[in-house]
């Protein structure tokens, strides 16, 4: 099976900047927001967005790592911040790829247990294969693929990140 690069490092960096500006515009009236990234790649993507937001806005940005069992998403969701730390704040839930929506919908359910001022979602790649009624408010690209295709995002510290379709 062949691998096609769907996002280069430069395109990913541009997407991070664009999403950061969109988040700033959406939350401009807030003093503090929480960016919650789904563990591993979603958290790396969230950290990159948070770093850029810190450069362009006066918003106080808190970063939260969300641990969810992707094979058993109904299991307990763990976060690096307490519920009190994100209660009554604006929150953006971030993942690298939105495929069926299962991971995102169970993570959304977790955050709805506390009052939030505003709740948005962000993904790098939206695959359009949703089982659940979940959408990305901020997204890098939308991709119509077959269910047999696989999208993989690789974040390298050496500045050579990319997303491939195989």
33 by DSSP, 3-state: which? Answer: strand
pTM exceeds cut of 0.75: yes
For strands 60-67 and 32-38, give the pairing: parallel
Residue 101: the pLDDT is: 87
Can you give the pLDDT at residue 145? Answer: 78
The whole-angstrom separation of Cα 19 and Cα 62 is: 16
Q: What is the pLDDT of residue 66?
A: 97
Spatial contact of 134 and 121, defined as CB atoms under 8 Å apart: yes
Tokens, residue 101: 């929506």
In whole angstroms, give the CA distance from residue 4 to residue 54.
33
Mean pLDDT by 10 residues, the chain (166 residues): 84 97 97 96 97 97 95 90 96 94 91 95 89 90 84 88 92
Q: How far apart are CA 152 and CA 48, in angstroms?
A: 18
User: pLDDT by residue (tens digit) across 48-73?
Assistant: 999 999 999 999 999 999 999 988 88
Nearest residue to 38 via CA among 62, 69, 3: 69
- At 2 the pLDDT is 61
Say what the alpha-carbon torsion angle 33, 89, 110, 21 is, to the nearest 10 degrees.
-30
Q: What is the pLDDT of residue 1?
A: 47
């Amino acid at each position: 099976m062949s691998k096609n690069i769907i996002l280069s490092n430069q395109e990913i960096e541009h997407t991070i900047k664009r999403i950061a500006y969109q988040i700033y515009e959406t939350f401009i009236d807030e003093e503090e927001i929480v960016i919650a990234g789904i563990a591993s790649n979603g958290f790396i993507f969230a950290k990159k967005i948070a770093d850029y937001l810190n450069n362009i806005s006066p918003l106080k940005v808190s970063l939260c790592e969300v641990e969810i069992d992707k094979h058993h998403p109904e299991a307990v969701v763990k976060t690096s911040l307490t519920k009190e730390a994100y209660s009554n704040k604006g929150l953006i839930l971030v993942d690298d790829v939105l495929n069926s929506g299962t991971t995102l919908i169970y993570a959304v359910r977790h955050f709805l247990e506390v009052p939030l001022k505003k709740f948005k979602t962000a993904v790098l790649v939206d695959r359009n294969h949703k089982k659940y009624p979940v959408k990305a408010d901020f997204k890098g690209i939308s991709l119509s693929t077959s269910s047999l295709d696989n999208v993989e995002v690789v974040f390298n510290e050496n500045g050579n990140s990319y997303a491939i379709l195989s």
